[in-house]
């Protein structure tokens, strides 16, 4: 056993309205009552944060934002600051999800700045890294991950967690085999320990990319996989709960 507490998060992306969010939280709270051994986080859209905060108040489930701006305030229409996320009770925020990198052209440097801004706001950044199918097929997986990880670690203070999400497996139904996922996580663990020492051993590494109840237990059995960042299956409280259960077994 690594001694690292499992961390399981659901990224709702651009899904759900308030009534759906409220029903989901009610059902997940009911199911998760009495479950111990894993930290659970929800990442709803910005318009749902108030509803989720109200629905989860007093529970063991945390919530976070899907993005933030690297500066604390200012003339940045449409953006959200770390202080605003903290004000609605967020304890986590996603930084550098592949869809932000692709849809909004976010650079490694910008993502590092966002991670630093989160920490300075008292919020733990979950920094997402991962290679595209073209990068993997051309043998550049570790080169890409090294670059992305270096930018995240360049932020002061350090990330709260790293989520490895192979871009070719996000929303495609394709999943890295447990052996392939472990190979990448072991590489990342070595890099973290080299850069951070014992703090690198303690920092949690999550896997994301078509995680489902059917494959979660086998993935979680790998020594350097500390939990999951779940997309599609995280939209259903029953499926998400089953994945949480696989991480507590």
3-state secondary structure of 57: coil
DSSP string, 132-201: -HHHHHTT-HHHHHHHHHHHHHTSSS--SEEEE--GGGSSSS----HHHHHHHHHHHHHHHHHHHTHHHH
15: exposed, middle or buried (Cβ count in 10 Å: 0-12, 13-18, 19+)? middle
Identify the active-site residue in 39, 69, 97, 99: 97
* Angstrom distance (rounded) from CA 77 to CA 101: 19
> Is 218 known to be catalytic?
no
Identify the active-site residue in 39, 99, 131, 165: 165
> Is 156 known to be catalytic?
no
Active-site annotation, residues: 97, 165
């Amino acid at each position: 056993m690594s001694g690292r507490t499992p961390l399981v998060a659901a990224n709702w992306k651009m899904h759900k309205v308030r009534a759906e969010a409220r029903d989901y939280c009610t059902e997940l709270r009911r199911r998760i009552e009495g479950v111990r051994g894993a930290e659970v986080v929800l990442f709803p859209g910005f318009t749902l944060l108030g509803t989720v905060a109200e629905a989860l108040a007093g529970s063991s489930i945390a919530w976070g934002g899907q993005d933030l701006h690297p500066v604390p305030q200012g003339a940045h229409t449409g953006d959200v600051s770390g202080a605003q996320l903290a004000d609605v009770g967020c304890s986590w925020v996603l930084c550098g999800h592949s869809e932000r990198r692709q849809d909004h052209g976010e650079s490694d440097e910008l993502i590092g700045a966002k991670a630093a801004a989160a920490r300075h706001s008292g919020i733990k950044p979950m920094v997402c890294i991962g290679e595209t199918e073209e990068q993997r097929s051309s043998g550049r997986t570790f080169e890409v991950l090294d670059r992305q990880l270096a930018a995240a670690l360049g932020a002061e203070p350090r990330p709260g967690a790293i989520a490895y999400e192979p871009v070719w497996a996000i929303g495609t139904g394709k999943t890295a085999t447990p052996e392939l996922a472990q190979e990448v996580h072991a590489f990342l663990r070595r890099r973290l320990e080299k850069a951070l020492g014992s703090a690198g051993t303690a920092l949690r590494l999550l896997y994301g990319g078509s995680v489902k109840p059917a494959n979660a237990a086998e993935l979680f059995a790998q020594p350097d996989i500390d939990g999951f960042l779940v997309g599609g299956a995280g939209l259903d409280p029953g499926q998400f709960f089953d994945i949480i259960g696989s991480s507590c077994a």
